[in-house]
A = this chain, B = another copy of it.
Amino acid sequence: MSMSKLVYFFGKGKAEGTGTMKYLLGGKGAGLAEMTNIGIPVPPGFSITTEACIYYYKNNKQYPDGLQEQMNENLKKLEDLMGKKLGDHHDPLLVSVRSGAKISMPGMMDTVLNLGLNNETVKGLAIKTNNERFAHDAYRRFIQMFSNVVLGVKHSDFEFILDEVKHDEGVTLDNELSTEALRNVVARYLRMLREVERIDFPQDPRQQLKMAIDAVFESWDSPRAVTYRKLYDIPDSLGTAVNVQTMVFGNMGEDCATGVAFTRNPSTGERVFYGEYLTNAQGEDVVAGIRTPRPIMYLNDEMPEAYAQLTDIYNTLENHYKDMQDIEFTIENKRLFMLQTRTGKRTAAAAIKVAVDMVEEGLITKEQALLRVDPAQLDQLLHPHIDPRAKIEVMAAGLNASPGAVSGSVVFSADDACSWAEQGKKVILVRKETSPDDIHGMAVAMGILTAHGGMTSHAAVVARGMGKSCVAGCEAIRVDEANKRFTVGNHVILEGDIITIDGSSGKVILGKAPTIEAEMTPEGITLLGWADGIRKLRIRANADDPEASRKAREFGAEGIGLCRTEHMFFAEDRLPIMQEMILAENEVERRKALDKLLPMQRGDFYEMLKAMEGLPVTIRLLDPPLHEFLPKYEDLLVEITRLEITSENKSLRLRESGLYGVIETTKQNVTDEDTKKLAEKKKLLHKVENLRELNPMLGLRGCRLGISYPEITEMQARAIIQAACDLTKDGLKVLPEIMVPLVSTVAELKTQKELIQKTAEEVFEEKGIRVDYLIGTMIELPRAAITADKIVAEAEFFSFGTNDLTQTTFGFSRDDAEGKFLDHYVETGLLAKNPFEVLDRDGVGELVKIGTEKGRSIKPDLKVGICGEHGGNPSSIEFCHMIGLNYVSCSPYRVPIARLAAAQAVLK
Contact = CB atoms under 8 A, between A and B. Distances in A.
Interface of A: 633-634, 637-638, 641-642, 645-646, 649, 653, 660, 693-700, 702, 704, 707-708, 742, 744-745, 747-748, 751, 780-783, 786-787, 790, 804, 807-813, 815-817, 820-821, 824-825, 829-831, 840, 842-844, 846-847
A812 B694 CA distance: 11
A820 B787 contact: no
A693 B452 CA distance: 12
A647 to B, nearest CB: 11
Given A638-B641, A708-B824, A812 B696 contact: no
B699 A696 contact: no
A642 to B, nearest CB: 6
Contact of A831 (B641, B747, B820, B842): B747
Contacts of A813: 693-699
Contacts of A786: 809, 842-843, 846-847
Given A637-B634, A694-B813, A742-B811, A783 B843 contact: yes
Contact of A700 (B638, B693, B816): B816
Given A637-B637, A698-B812, 20 more contacts: A637-B641, A638-B638, A641-B642, A641-B645, A693-B816, A693-B820, A694-B697, A694-B813, A695-B696, A695-B698, A698-B817, A699-B813, A699-B816, A708-B821, A747-B829, A748-B830, A782-B782, A782-B809, A783-B809, A808-B808
A816 B695 contact: yes
Contacts of A641: 637-638, 641-642, 645
Given A707-B830, A782-B847, A809-B781, A695 B820 contact: no
Contact of A704 (B646, B821, B840, B842): B821
A112 to B, nearest CB: 37
A330 to B, nearest CB: 46
B812 A744 contact: yes
Given A649-B649, A693-B813, A821-B708, A698 B700 contact: no
A285 to B, nearest CB: 46
Contacts of A809: 744, 781-783, 786, 808
Contacts of A780: 811
Contacts of A820: 693, 699-700, 704, 708
Contacts of A804: 811
16 contacts: A637-B637, A698-B698, A698-B812, A707-B830, A708-B820, A708-B824, A742-B811, A744-B843, A745-B831, A780-B811, A781-B810, A782-B808, A783-B811, A783-B844, A786-B843, A790-B842
Given A634-B634, A843-B744, A821 B700 contact: yes
Contacts of A811: 697-698, 702, 742, 744, 780-783, 804, 808
Nearest to A806: B783
Contacts of A817: 698-700
Contacts of A698: 695, 697-698, 807-808, 811-813, 816-817
A101 to B, nearest CB: 24
A744 B810 contact: yes
A872 B402 CA distance: 49
A742 B782 CA distance: 16
Contact of A782 (B748, B787, B843): B843
Contacts of A790: 842
Give the most central of A642, A700, A809, A844: most B CB within 10 Å.
A809
Nearest to A822: B704
A830 B695 contact: no
Contacts of A843: 744, 782-783, 786-787
A840 B745 CA distance: 11
Contacts of A782: 782, 808-809, 811, 843, 847
Contacts of A812: 698, 744
Nearest to A625: B816
A434 to B, nearest CB: 14
Contacts of A707: 821, 824-825, 830
Nearest to A804: B811
Contacts of A747: 829-831
A618 to B, nearest CB: 20
Contacts of A702: 811
A780 B816 CA distance: 19
A889 B847 CA distance: 28
Nearest to A840: B783
Contacts of A699: 813, 816-817, 820
Contacts of A748: 830
A328 to B, nearest CB: 40
A822 to B, nearest CB: 9
Nearest to A742: B811
Nearest to A843: B783
A686 to B, nearest CB: 11
A745 B821 CA distance: 14
Contacts of A742: 811
A742 B807 CA distance: 13
Nearest to A475: B690
A840 B786 CA distance: 12
A65 B781 CA distance: 47
Across the A-B interface, the 9 shortest Cβ-Cβ residue pairs: A698-B813, A695-B813, A783-B843, A699-B816, A782-B782, A693-B816, A781-B811, A641-B641, A695-B697
A745 B637 CA distance: 40
A707 B831 CA distance: 13
A254 to B, nearest CB: 59
A843 B844 CA distance: 15
A810 B748 CA distance: 12
A642 B637 CA distance: 11
A786 B786 CA distance: 11
Contacts of A824: 707-708
Contacts of A700: 816-817, 820-821
Contacts of A829: 747
A843 B782 CA distance: 8
A121 to B, nearest CB: 51
Contacts of A649: 645, 649
Contacts of A694: 696-697, 813, 815-816
A808 to B, nearest CB: 5
Nearest to A846: B786
- Chain B CB within 10 A, most for which of A633, A694, A780: A694
A409 B634 CA distance: 34
Q: Which of A700, A786, A810 has the most CB of B within 10 A?
A: A786
A474 to B, nearest CB: 15
A702 B811 CA distance: 10
A736 B109 CA distance: 49
Contacts of A638: 637-638, 641
A646 B634 CA distance: 19
Contacts of A846: 786-787
Contacts of A708: 820-821, 824
A675 to B, nearest CB: 17
Contacts of A787: 842-843, 846
Contacts of A693: 813, 815-816, 820
A844 B815 CA distance: 25
Nearest to A810: B744
A373 to B, nearest CB: 32
Contact of A810 (B642, B696, B783, B842): B783
A790 B844 CA distance: 15
A842 B784 CA distance: 10
Nearest to A830: B747
Contacts of A825: 707
A508 B432 CA distance: 45
Nearest to A700: B820
A846 B745 CA distance: 14
Contacts of A637: 634, 637-638, 641
Nearest to A644: B642
A671 to B, nearest CB: 15
A759 B646 CA distance: 57
A228 to B, nearest CB: 22
A436 to B, nearest CB: 15
A494 to B, nearest CB: 24
